[in-house]
Amino acid sequence: MTYRESGTYRESGTYRESGSNRESSKGAPAGASTVGVIGAGYVGLPTAATLSHFGHRVILAESDPGRFNTLLRGEIPIVERGLLEMVRDGVDRGTLRFVSDATEAARGSDFVFFCVPTPQGVDGSADLSYVEAVAKEVGPVLRSGAIVVNKSTVPVGSASFVERIIGRDDIHVVSNPEFLREGSAVHDSLNPDRIVVGADDQGAAARVGQLFAGTGSPLIVTDTTTSETIKYASNAFLATKVSFINAVAGLCEAVGADVRDVVLGMGYDKRIGFEFLRPGPGWGGSCLPKDTQALVHMAESAGYDFSLLKGAIAGNEEQLDLVVKKAVSSLDDKIEGTTVGVLGLTFKAGTDDRRSSPAVDIARRLVGLGARVQAYDPTVPAFEEADDLAGVRCCADVYEAVAGARVAVVLTEWDEFRWVDFEKVKSAMDRPVVIDARNILDPGAMKRMGFTYVGMGRG
């Protein structure tokens, strides 16, 4: 897998993992629908590629010139395993094409998917300005009977909100939340655990469900309010689960237990399971942080105090502090002017996404405390000078990042960090101290090599 090729991120690999080895043939089969997808980001691109893979005629609109031109060049603007091949396959078969104008994708389409951002607003609520703008843009050109699908994560009442903006009684607005994870978006899109469709009109719901029939996944049809709630409740549950295990890791440190064995012992209970119980530097990314805040806000607006979720959010803030404290105390509180090596900047492995990344947040806190931070991430070029990385020196590899460092902090669980030459790391460092905020290294092996090893919840 290579992440850097001629200045853009690309991937090799295959997406043919779910019965998708059908013969390539030009054009869409009879009965195929025409689908407009608005927004070619982490959700819109996999959605467009999946629908095109299932034989529908997909027109993907992207207004950002950088992203649009990348697509026109036959590349993709994000790091996502297997997605490039799937996109190229759609283009080659003639079922996927790109436009820069949302109206061009919407006009004449049977379905129009909104996959635009819903960032956090100043008061914590979801900012619907992109959704509103697209609804205003495409509303007048929609063909009669078209179905608008809110795939963006939107709060309760958003289907009605979009309906009001479009202001036409010959159009249906349906909620179809997306549950894919970055890093496994292709797999998740082809094999979703479930398809949720919320609609007031059962016929419209059935038609949207039918688009994804090729996945063979369970279909849950409900009203729009319930569908919108399902999305936020799912992300809030996942965030709470990670906050819970991070708290258990803290408990393990206090009592001298090993969290990995605690998870093993808990996870065999099928009601608990093993998923989402990896302690780390706190949950981040473009969705869990903003969606949990939005749900707290949504609940408050409806007169409900979601104190459990507020606790999970507060616990997550403490987790970020905890990793910084571990780094500072490993330096006997002398961090000013000290070199710290940071391994990983993305919010998780398998993506180039650094939005609300705990790794970036922690690196910047270390910079704020006066440390000289040298970082390496496989998706970040050396000498990168992005705004979110102000004060962080981006390096070409792990060895450069740890050169002269008095502590190295592993913040993203990139597989390659498990396989570095730790003897080389040791000799490059000023002092062999590693804080493994992802618990990806073997403490015994690290100690035998002469490292001071600090993990998360490992006694």
Q: What residues are annotated to the active site?
A: 287
Least distance in angstroms from the C-beta of 378 to ligand UGA: 15
- Residue 8 is classified by DSSP as B
State which amino acid sits at residue 353.
D
Give me the numbers of helices (H) and strands (E) for the chain, helices first please: 16, 14
Among 11, 62, 89, 436, the residue binding ligand NAD under the rule CB under 6 A is: 62
**Tokens matching residue 386:** 């992005």
Buried b (16+ CB within 10 A) or exposed e, 264-297: eebeeeeeeeeeebbbbbbbbbbbbbbbbbbbbb
**Under rule CB under 6 A, residue 180 binds ligand NAD:** yes
Residue closer to ligand UGA, measured from CB, 348 or 393: 348
**Could you say which of 153, 158, 175, 246 contacts ligand NAD (CB under 6 A)?**
153
| Burial annotation 343-354 (CB, 10 A radius, 16+ → b, else e) | bbbbbbbbbbbb
Return the number of the residue (208 or 360) whose C-beta is nearest ligand UGA: 360
Token digits of residue 19: 């019965």
Instruction: Choose among ligand UGA, ligand NAD, none what residue 238 binds, the Cβ cut-off being 5 to 8 Å by kind.
Output: ligand UGA
The owner of tokens 């819109």 is 44
CB of 187 to ligand UGA, least distance (A): 12
Q: Enumerate the β-bridge partners of residue 220.
A: 196
Check residue 319 for interaction with ligand NAD (CB under 6 A): no
DSSP 249-287: HHHHHHHT-BHHHHHHHHHTSTTT-STT----S---SSS
Binding site for ligand UGA (CB under 6 A): 153, 178-182, 235, 238, 242, 276-278, 280, 283-285, 287-288, 347-348, 358
Distance CA 34, CA 49 (A): 13
115 binds ligand NAD (CB under 6 A): yes
Q: Which partner, ligand UGA, ligand NAD, none, binds residue 284 by CB below 5 to 8 Å per kind?
A: ligand UGA
Residue 224 or 351 having the CB closest to ligand UGA = 351
Q: Which is nearer to ligand UGA, 99 or 454 (CB)?
A: 454
Cβ-based nearer residue to ligand NAD, 9 or 451? 9
Give the residues lining the site for ligand NAD (CB under 6 A). 38-44, 61-64, 67, 102, 115-118, 130, 133-134, 137, 152-153, 178, 180, 182, 286-287
